[in-house]
Structure 1
């Protein structure tokens, strides 16, 4: 098996039984905020796209790149399709011209047969509302000699089905760096923001190491990030100026974390790097001299500056395609967009539980979730427990394009500011990613179902429910206890073990009892 990095979470997997292209991303994402790092525009995308199979893990725009898929990927390729509750991914791929789909069943080993031979595959499909745009996934591939687990930025809660089906994993590709807007966009003091960033940075790497330990692969490739921010307004988000609170550490940083914790199996891959894997034997080759690979990371600021200058016309063209900032008041279009969704989502609206302010230039609109309405501010009311300041041209663009997911457009762009009083509100961001009848019906129903909390474990002197109240992660594997505080490293959520109260978000209480 030969694996070629094509940038970010993208890989080309070549076997004697066929080739698979995974998550090819080239063009800027999220309002031209994110670019692949290092640069991958110089790869031969026509050759990379001439494959037998295509795997797109989910619809986040740093994994699903319609322009690259349309221009460069063979439409006769068979799509390895995750088992998602809402068929948005299949619909979008069909719009691009793909017609052959191999529908997998979540966490079940399948054999795909082609003219060149058979491959064993499994797609671990995550289907909670918090997983990507209603779905994220990881792919396992075996050619009979080598097993590759491409986890990209998915966060599986149970590795056992994969390990039971495939046994030893030879190479593990997974995310270690940040891919979110928190805490950078929040209106909080700089010192507080830096401390939150330090925690977020370390938790992301701790989570990755936890997965590495559970999977036990011989070789590990840190991937699926970080992106690079090339717009002048966002350049400070790059980890190139010694900010200990930066949530976007690069591959070199994480490989050192692995070594510190006794794991020397990490492989550094840049776009065009290949690794030939034969069981537990690996031979790595880069497309440029090793010294030049090292320079990308040791002189990162200069590399980013050069890339920014080359990509400036691309950013300018993207901005020119945005809707104008001026136009009719946004209250009417937002009422038409949001109120029908609110009317269908009692669990989510009640979970949000308060009005949310939306400040767009000179206009403020209130999303009144308790009353299921979108309205103007009331006299004397200018403060809201949760609020967003978003440039009106971004709001007008997503309304013009009838975007079903503001998380996958505005929020991941980091081109906004937010404030909140109290903890993170998962229901609110779920609402913003479910702006279709189909999505909101699924998400509201998912939250309405009772999670199984009957199984218990003992950790740190407490008996607690085994499954995390957030997304059902196994706390015997992801739970870390410090005093009376429990952290689930899958997403960094925390609980007070004395009371069972969730310290991260509203609701999500934990069953907990002190022992002895």
Structure 2
């Protein structure tokens, strides 16, 4: 069996890259989750401050960091960087209390949704950067933006402090081939931030197997990022959250979900990246003198006290009054969503069952189905979505999107066959921002006619048809290619997707007399 890997050697930094010392005291302060305050060159940069519950009152920062909020609000910040619109990075209750004169550094997304939201909040001094574009607010301080260059709207920031390079990737997946190198400190996600598989209705053993696979994939992706950036130190960040609502308490099981603590990965990481220093912090830690993990914070007693302190906040969602969504309202909402995404949907169709507090509808989506059909009994639905009426009302009224609702873990899902439908989930997640689904259309067209690479005697599309990862960094074993981002797999002889979804990969054999060196051979 032939095996090829584009991952590189197991040691993440060479002998010429001895671990460097951390920045000067006070230079970088961790606020918890993906939040930081960076002080340098007489300026203060505030990054992704998150303190209040997110996603329908479901997610809370872990550990509790609320005691830092007064200092953050009172701080004389010159710059504010917000990576994306997810509520565990975009805490509107904090932003509303910040000085509107602050200079806001934002990623340039196709939808302009982040720029518009900040403008609506009164932040008009904006520096909007595209992928790999830089801004130098002071001679010894340079900020460089890195985007997920696919249809997803995520970003990371490289902060250069007079040569000390801090890369804050949070939960952004910049293509591996686009990552910067020579990084002193990498801050990146290790825990999951997705509803799959724990929100799906799987038998217990199946759920455990799928959860283990996702956790393994998360770890693999992290190791690749560490090695490719040459990071000398790594800070586990951007998760996991904690679920204080007792109805969601099962997602606090660190062994059975994709929301583990760093302990679960620490030994394997030390083996995979033996020369990379791991910096574990508590909220408020100065990175020059981190306190490290605090065992007390991981106990049930700590969680119970945290739940009591925030009871008013996690109960607030359940106390909201809302009128049930009528079939006519749902019909109009879904018709509007489809009308905004006609080119994206093409001739796709899907039968979906929606259940909500005792009501059940069969919804036929897709252009060739004509009008949306509501039936008393579902007709062999491929997807079933269980959504509480209170959540459905918020979605139909535009208060939240499906993305936020799914991340809340307040929805239940099932699919038969158990195959991911990229079009359906993209319609729900991105349909309110057609700029994103139009980018997916362009990605499809690029897959058919775009840039190619040659590997193992096969010419294939360079970028993954699922989420745009550069397949020059994909592993190939026994004729099967595995994307390094979400670990979808394709047969190289046919392009058939054999794991992950149903989207094929464009492949064609390279004649022996024309075959050149494998792209991974440099």
TM-score (norm 1): 0.86
- Counterpart pick for 1:119 among 133, 141, 151: 141
| Contact preservation (8 Å) 2:466, 2:503 | no
Aligned to 1:279: none
Q: CA deviation at 1:404?
A: 6.1
Deviates more, 1:487-496 or 1:412-421: 487-496
Match of 1:474 in 2: 470
What RMSD in Å do the two structures reach over aligned CA positions?
2.5
* Deviation of 1:349 (Å): 2.5
1:303-342 to 2 correspondences below 5 Å? 303-321=302-320, 323-324=321-322, 326-327=323-324, 329-342=325-338
Identify if the C-alpha distance between structure 1 residues 484 and 234 changes in structure 2 by more than 3 Å, giving closer, same or farther.
farther
Q: Does 1:217 align with 2:217?
A: no
TM-score (norm 2): 0.85
Deviation at 1:123, TM superposition (A): 0.7
Q: Which residue of 2 aligns with 1:16?
A: 41
Q: 1:7 to 1:357 in 2, by over 3 A?
A: same
Residue 114 (structure 2) pairs with residue 89 (structure 1): yes
**Which string of whole-angstrom CA distances, capped at 9 and with x for unpartnered residues, describes residues 229-258 of structure 1?**
111121121244xx3x42111123333332
* Partner Cα distance (1:77, 1:219) in 2: 30
- Give 1:376's match in structure 2, choosing from 374, 397, 416: 374
How far the C-alpha of 1:307 sits from its partner, in A, is 1.5
Structure 2 equivalent of residue 494 of structure 1: 489
Deviations 1:402-443 (A, max 9, x none): 1462112x1001111111123111221211123436546635
User: Which residue of 250, 254, 268 corresponds with 2:280?
Assistant: 268
Alignment of 1:443-458 (within 5 A): 443=439, 445-447=441-443, 449-451=445-447, 453-458=450-455
Whether 1:345 and 2:341 are equivalent positions in the alignment is: yes
Structure 2 CA distance for aligned equivalents of residues 440 and 462 of structure 1: 30
Distance 1:437 1:136 in 2: 14
User: Secondary structure of 1:12's partner?
Assistant: strand
Contact 2:387 / 2:411 at 8 angstroms: preserved in 1? yes
3-state DSSP of counterpart to 2:305: helix
The aligned counterpart of 2:393 is 396
Matched, 1:253 2:264: yes
Deviations 1:169-215 (Å, cap 9, x if unpaired)? 21111011101111112122111111000000110011011111000
Cα distance in structure 1, aligned partners of 2:330 and 2:439: 21
| C-alpha deviation, 1:385, in angstroms | 0.6
Q: In structure 2, what is the Cα distance between the partners aligned to 1:105 and 1:197?
A: 35
How big is the shift at 1:501?
1.0
CA contact (8 A) 1:77 1:100 kept: yes
Q: Residue in 1 aligned with 2:407? A: 412
* Partner Cα distance (1:515, 1:458) in 2: 12
Could you give the per-residue CA deviations for residues 261-290 of structure 1, whole angstroms, max 9, x where no partner exists? 124411102211111xxxxxxx3233xxx6
Q: Distance in 1 between matches of 2:406 and 2:331?
A: 20
Contact (CA 8 Å) 1:34, 1:227: kept in 2 or not? yes
CA contact (8 A) 1:175 1:222 kept: yes
Cα deviation for residue 99 of structure 1 reads: 1.6
Query: 1:284 aligns to what?
Result: 289
Task: Check the 8 A contact 2:133/2:145 in 1, yes or no.
Answer: yes
Q: Find the residue that maps to 1:202 and give its secondary structure.
A: helix
Q: Distance in 2 between matches of 1:351 and 1:138?
A: 36
Contact 1:498 / 1:514 at 8 angstroms: preserved in 2? no
Cα gap change, 1:194/1:510 in structure 2, threshold over 3 Å: closer, same or farther? farther
How far residue 462 of structure 1 moved from its aligned partner, in angstroms, is 6.0
Greater Cα shift, 431-440 or 170-179: 431-440
Q: Does residue 158 of structure 2 align to residue 140 of structure 1? A: yes
Unaligned runs of 5+ in 2: 1-22, 513-522
> Greater RCO between the two (CA within 8 Å, min separation 6)?
2
CA contact (8 A) 2:386 2:413 kept: yes
Mapped to 2, the partners of 1:64 and 1:121 lie a distance apart of 19
Offset, 1:467: 2.6
Tell me if the contact between 1:32 and 1:318 (Cα under 8 Å) persists in the aligned partners. Answer: yes
SS at match of 1:340: helix
Cα distance in 2 between the residues matched to 1:267 and 1:306: 27
User: What's the CA shift string for 1:65-109, capped at 9, x where partnerless?
Assistant: 1001112x2321101111111111011112222121012122123
**Equivalent residues in 2 for 1:170-209, closer than 5 Å:** 170-209=184-223
Query: For 1:50, what is the secondary structure of its paired residue?
Result: coil
User: Which residue pairs with 1:278 in the alignment?
Assistant: none
Kept in 1, the 8 Å contact 2:135–2:142? The answer is yes
Relative to structure 1, is the Cα distance of residues 437 and 5 closer, same or farther in structure 2, using a 3 angstrom cutoff?
closer
Q: 2:356 pairs with 360, 363, 379, which one?
A: 360
Equivalent pair of 2:364/2:374 in contact (CA under 8 Å): no
- Inter-partner Cα distance in structure 2 for 1:247 and 1:440: 26
- CA positional deviation for 1:515: 9.9
Deviations 1:350-377 (A, max 9, x none): 4753122211123223332232533311
Cα gap change, 1:467 to 1:310, in 2 (>3 Å): same
Query: Does the 8 Å CA contact 2:493/2:507 hold for their aligned counterparts?
Result: no
The residue aligned with 2:11 is none
Q: Give the number of aligned pairs.
A: 480
| Match in the other structure for 1:280 | none
Unaligned runs of 5+ in 1: 276-282
